[in-house]
Chain A
Amino acid sequence: MEDLYSMLMQDVRFEEGLKACMNCGICTGICPAAEYYNYDPRMVVDLVQTRNNDIIRELLMSETIWYCGQCMSCKTRCPRGNTPGMVIMALRKLSQELGYFTASEKGRQQFAIKRTVGDNVLKHGYCVVSYDVDPVAHPEQGPAWEHYYKHMEDSLARLGGELNGKEGPTRKISDDVLDELRSIFKVTGGQDLYDAIEEASEKKAEEMGLEFNKQGRDFEYFRHVVSADSGNHQCETEDVRRDIYETRR
């Protein structure tokens, strides 16, 4: 059986992020995720420092490790210099490498992040790029974005840019540069992580009886992971806040 704690210790962020937690809970007090989700970073760190393999495996398969928003406010406040957010990053990486992430609803969402941001990096050279932010998928972007998206070349020209131009904002990243990026991903393990996410997701889709395609985003499993919400993630504090909000209205 693999020693999960030792595997975590191979991640420099874990080594740096967890020295000795005294369970004061200030990380939970400052954490925006703890205010919204049923989430307690103090508990996560406490569980990890038990070094118990079964407990760590349970965490790797849980919803819990996917609630953090990585604002890293915990780093500023921890009196021991720990960073629960970095511990979370190490847990998430290991969860994906071992294929455990597909056991949870929030974990399965990693597939969508890989197919959007992840694929954008190697296809366009950007994590986010204007022509990939479709207003239909992003109604919250509102009328200003819808207008910009529809008239992108005109709008960008006025701002001093050229869509897929040679330089400036949203310039086209050339094929030889993209080759360099792909090579970096191969050498450093980035491609291996992408492959691990793909492989475990395809297996999960089959298990759930959902359609899965090797490329793109228009198929059942992708649509499922971006929208599925069991409604079991939020905390009571958020219910109280919602009541206050309703009263205010």
Chain B
Amino acid sequence: MKLEGKKRIWAEYQKDIPDDHFFYVRSCIRQTFFAGSEQTFLKIMRDDLKKDVFEDPRHTTCTGIGYHGDVVPFETIQTVVARHFALATEAGYKHIAISCVTSFGIYSEILETWKHFPETLARTREDLYKATGRTFDVPETISHTSDIIYKFRDEIARKAKYNLVDISTGKPLKVVEHIGCHYSKMFPNYGIGGAEFPHVLIGMIESWGGDVIDYPERRHCCGFGFRQYLIQANRGYSVSATRKKLESMEPYKPDMIVANCPGCAMFMDRWQYTIKEIDDITYGHDGQGIPVLTYEEMAGLVLGYDPWNMGMQYHNVQSLPLLRKMGIKADPADRFLAKDGSRLPEPANLINS
């Protein structure tokens, strides 16, 4: 096939990601369970890549978990998101950088709905003005924050202090990548590689020296399921989905799992702990668990950030075996510190600790 033809075929799987000047919106789940990852993203962008990322502390939840938990109407969430657009407009920003995959799916759904049903955009403008007196411009682009790290993956590779390589063998680490369902299964055009070839994490892993594992349940949902986790009686649904994935990836002996969705990263860590507690089963090498990282943590390790300052100690499956393989010297005794630098008692029953 001619190169031109190939380019045309693959064009629909590409995504334009701006080079600079982002309006950042946080994630309820990521700031709760991975506060260090959000701070790491900002540090990488501002300090390492010298980019302008603006955050207005007046932005709130997008209400996405309430929306997919079915207690928040579509009209309401459109208007809450429109308020974020109004804050971006007021600050002079046209590119939104979204930390959460649930939010990213919602922003995509809203923009698509406004395109196909222009009356919904008109109503949202009216509702927002009536409720808050604010007006807004529709942003030029929306990017998930993993899109942005993907865009700068080669620049990060050039600054790398460590690679995704086992320093004792020189072989690439084996990495499972998990894409949050709402990143591109709903609106493929908004994700890099669409729903069929989601490349956002593969690109990072390969640029930083790792090998990607392909396994049968690679694209299965982590099992969050919103109400299926939020309600205690339903959590069997959630843990079953993650268990299915872990059983499927186990034969390929992954060194780590990386996810672009904060919920997926949290569940695949938490359910490993739960399954170990209930059934004494683990899925990693030699009876260990498989560390689950956010992509910000993976990028931070590559750039030489201190894993404990990124919050990696707050995973039930600790990353110590992975850090040793990469040659990262991080003292486990420094994981749990108080504000004054004194050591806090270490939690019991962490995996790989």
**A in complex with B:** yes
Residue of B at shortest CB range from A157?
B339
**Quick one: which of B185, B225, B313 contacts A144, CB cutoff 8 A?**
B313
Q: Mark A64-99, 1 if CB is under 8 A from B, else 0.
A: 001001111101100000010000010011001000
Taking the nearest CB of chain B, how far is it from the CB of A30, in angstroms?
Answer: 9
A72 touches B186 (CB 8 A): yes
A126 touches B311 (CB 8 A): no
A141 touches B270 (CB 8 A): yes
**Quick one: which of A72, A144, A167 contacts B57, CB cutoff 8 A?**
A167
A37 touches B237 (CB 8 A): yes
Most buried by B among A180, A227, A241: A180
In the docked arrangement, what's the CA distance between A74 and B263, Å? Answer: 20
Q: Which of B24-32, B157-165, B202-210 contacts A (4 or more CB under 8 A)?
A: B24-32
Taking the nearest CB of chain A, how far is it from the CB of B67, in angstroms?
Answer: 8
B132 touches A151 (CB 8 A): no
B336 touches A147 (CB 8 A): yes
A129 touches B32 (CB 8 A): yes
Q: Mark B8-33, 1 if CB is under 8 A from A, else 0.
A: 00000000000000000010110111
Task: List, in ascending order, chain B residues with CB within 8 A of A121's CB.
Answer: 61, 63, 66, 72
**Quick one: which of B271, B314, B346 contacts A145, CB cutoff 8 A?**
B314
Q: List 3 tightest A-B contacts by C-beta distance, closest first.
A: A69-B225, A190-B76, A169-B31
B309 touches A159 (CB 8 A): yes
In the docked arrangement, what's the CA distance between A187 and B82, Å? Answer: 14
Tell me which residues from 48 to 67 in chain A have a Cβ below 8 Å from any Cβ of chain B: 66
B72 touches A118 (CB 8 A): yes
A159 touches B35 (CB 8 A): yes
Task: List, in ascending order, chain A residues with CB within 8 A of B76's CB.
Answer: 184-185, 188-190, 193
Determine whether B113 belongs to the interface, using a CB cutoff of 8 Å to chain A.
yes
Main secondary structure of the interface of A (DSSP, over half): helix
A128 touches B29 (CB 8 A): yes
Q: Mark B125-151, 1 if CB is under 8 A from A, else 0.
A: 001101110000000000000000000
Determine whether A109 belongs to the interface, using a CB cutoff of 8 Å to chain B.
yes
B223 touches A69 (CB 8 A): yes
Interface size class of A (residues with CB under 8 A): 35 or more
A127 touches B65 (CB 8 A): yes
Task: List, in ascending order, chain B residues with CB within 8 A of A245's CB.
Answer: 243
A151 touches B39 (CB 8 A): no
Determine whether B64 belongs to the interface, using a CB cutoff of 8 Å to chain A.
yes
In the docked arrangement, what's the CA distance between A157 and B225, Å? Answer: 31
A70 touches B68 (CB 8 A): yes
* Chain A residues with a Cβ under 8 A of chain B: 11-13, 16, 32-33, 35-37, 66, 69-73, 75-76, 83, 89, 92-93, 96, 106, 109-110, 112-114, 116-118, 121, 125-130, 133, 137, 140-148, 151, 153-161, 166-171, 173-174, 177, 180-181, 183-190, 193-194, 197, 225-229, 234, 238, 241, 245, 248-249
Q: Mark B62-82, 1 if CB is under 8 A from A, else 0.
A: 011110111111111011100
Q: List 21 A-B contacts (CB under 8 A).
A: A16-B117, A69-B223, A71-B181, A71-B225, A83-B186, A109-B227, A109-B233, A125-B61, A126-B32, A129-B28, A130-B31, A142-B274, A144-B315, A151-B338, A158-B339, A170-B35, A180-B83, A181-B80, A188-B75, A197-B71, A228-B233
B181 touches A73 (CB 8 A): yes
Determine whether B248 belongs to the interface, using a CB cutoff of 8 Å to chain A.
no
Residue of A at shortest CB range from B271?
A140
A33 touches B349 (CB 8 A): no
A249 touches B61 (CB 8 A): no
**Quick one: which of A146, A186, A226, A238 contacts B131, CB cutoff 8 A?**
A186
Given contacts A72-B186, A187-B131, 5 further A-B contacts (CB under 8 A): A72-B105, A141-B270, A145-B316, A177-B60, A184-B76
Taking the nearest CB of chain A, how far is it from the CB of B262, in angstroms?
Answer: 10
